[in-house]
Amino acid sequence: MRQPNFTRLRSQRGSMAALALVGMIPLMIAIGAFAVDIMHINAVQSELQKACDAGALAGAQDLWEYSTLPGNPPARALTVTGLNLADGQFVSSLSPNTTVTATVTTVPTNSTGGEVQVVASMGVDNIFAKIIGQPVVTVTCQAKAGQSGKVKRAAVGETFPIAISVDAVGVDGSQLWQHVQGDTITMEWHTNVCWTAFTSHNASAVGNCISDYKHPETGTVPSVTVGTAVDCTNGVQASNLASMSSMIGKVINLPVITGTSFNANNNVVGFVSLKVTGVTGSGAGTQVTGTLVNSMINGESGYTASTGTGSWDSFLNTNESALVKLLN
């Protein structure tokens, strides 16, 4: 009986394995190529999501003026979204194969801050999938932002360097806690407000905080937490008062203190937001007027007013600045 030729069989099996390996090379190349496309799509989606998040947060912070200027929050959302890049181009409907919309999905009221939603779609060019008829993949992201509780800690850059007393009697004979949203608040130095650079009351430090307000990247304006002290001064600081004219029409977020000991360290009991409407007078008699608004700022929530005085707590719980947060 003829014995099987094991050497030949081994040789044939080896040849078949080699052929199979050679045949798999194109498949492996294809898989690698499609993986490149997938990684590219994922990277674009991440960039697009960050743009939507930034736009929604910015739009939500303008919801306080929705009743008079309903187009401002979505316009602000689109502007900030459009400042961001995805796949090397601006996230704007003006960019090729890109659509961005911003809407107020929940209208703000006196008790709720409302919500803004941003939706962005972008066509992403495939590098290799176009070979099988998939030249473009559409990526869509969305973000929604709105109010999430009262502010316990204002983030870096979010607090303007004016401390306002909740109980000091103003030039109009009223106290801050007696007001409601929409009321005009008159601020006068030595009367119901004072300057603070938070850890200093030096005039130049205050000036730097004014310039860098809403610019967290500078780190000039520190985070401020309810219950911690800020360094106040009863000095007029004429140069800083003069700069307040540049704030007309803007919203400033102020730390709230108690009493009239303005040349001392005072504990922050909350925050309020004013839209600056005018600056009159000069020197110690300078008055800055603003409208009390329901603004939202960046920071941390978890605060419930507890000043020991019921009327003050009631005012802060109703009128204090709210935290803005992504909701989806």
pLDDT in tens, 79-132: 999 999 999 999 999 999 999 999 999 998 766 778 999 999 999 987 766 666
Q: Is residue 11 part of a domain?
A: no
Task: Indicate the residue among 95, 117, 146 that finishes a domain.
Answer: 146
**pLDDT, tens digit, 9 for 90 and up, residues 289-306:** 999 998 889 999 887 888
Q: 219 and 142 in one domain?
A: no
Contacts of 152 (CB under 8 A, 6+ apart): 225, 226, 299, 300, 301, 302, 303
Q: 192 and 168 in one domain?
A: yes
**pLDDT, tens digit, 9 for 90 and up, residues 131-179:** 666 778 899 999 999 988 888 999 999 999 999 999 999 999 999 999 9
Percentage, residues of the chain above pLDDT 70: 87
Q: 49 and 183 in one domain?
A: no
Q: Is residue 258 part of a domain?
A: yes
Which residue type occupies 97?
N
Q: 196 and 142 in one domain?
A: no
Q: 111 and 69 in one domain?
A: yes
Q: 312 and 182 in one domain?
A: yes
Confirm if 270 and 149 have CB atoms less than 8 A apart. Answer: no
Contacts of 54 (CB under 8 A, 6+ apart): 80, 81, 83, 84
302-307: long-range contacts, CB 8 A cutoff, minimum separation 24: 302/149, 302/152, 303/149, 303/150, 303/151, 303/152, 303/226, 303/270, 304/150, 305/150, 305/269, 305/270, 307/166, 307/258, 307/269
For the record, the structure tokens of 215 come out as 């610019």
Residue 44, domain extent: 18-146
Q: Mean of the pLDDT values across residues 178-183?
A: 94
Q: 187 and 139 in one domain?
A: no
Q: 133 and 173 in one domain?
A: no
Instruction: Tell me how far apart the alpha carbons of residues 89 and 98 are, in angstroms, rounded to a whole number.
Output: 9
Task: Indicate the residue among 146, 169, 203 that finishes a domain.
Answer: 146
Instruction: Tell me how far apart the alpha carbons of residues 162 and 225 are, in angstroms, rounded to a whole number.
Output: 15
Q: Is residue 256 part of a domain?
A: yes
DSSP class of residue 62 equals T
Q: Is residue 12 part of a domain?
A: no
Instruction: Tell me how far apart the alpha carbons of residues 240 and 207 are, in angstroms, rounded to a whole number.
Output: 6
The closest of 289, 261, 253 to 172, measured between CA atoms, is 289
Q: 3-class SS at 141?
A: strand
The closest of 167, 271, 159 to 215, measured between CA atoms, is 159
pLDDT of 1 > 60? The answer is no
pTM of the model: 0.80
What pLDDT was estimated at residue 13? 54
Length of the chain: 328
Q: Mean of the pLDDT values across residues 13-38?
A: 59
What is the total count of domains within the chain? 2
For residues 319 and 254, the model is more confident at 254
pLDDT of 283 > 60? The answer is yes
What pLDDT was estimated at residue 87? 94
Q: 96 and 69 in one domain?
A: yes
Q: 270 and 159 in one domain?
A: yes
Instruction: Tell me how far apart the alpha carbons of residues 301 and 65 are, in angstroms, rounded to a whole number.
Output: 22
Instruction: Tell me how far apart the alpha carbons of residues 285 and 36 are, in angstroms, rounded to a whole number.
Output: 67
Instruction: Give the 3-state secondary structure of 95-123.
Output: CCCEEEEEEEEECCCCCCCCEEEEEEEEE
Q: Give phi and psi for 51, each to the nearest 5.
A: -65, -45
Q: 220 and 184 in one domain?
A: yes
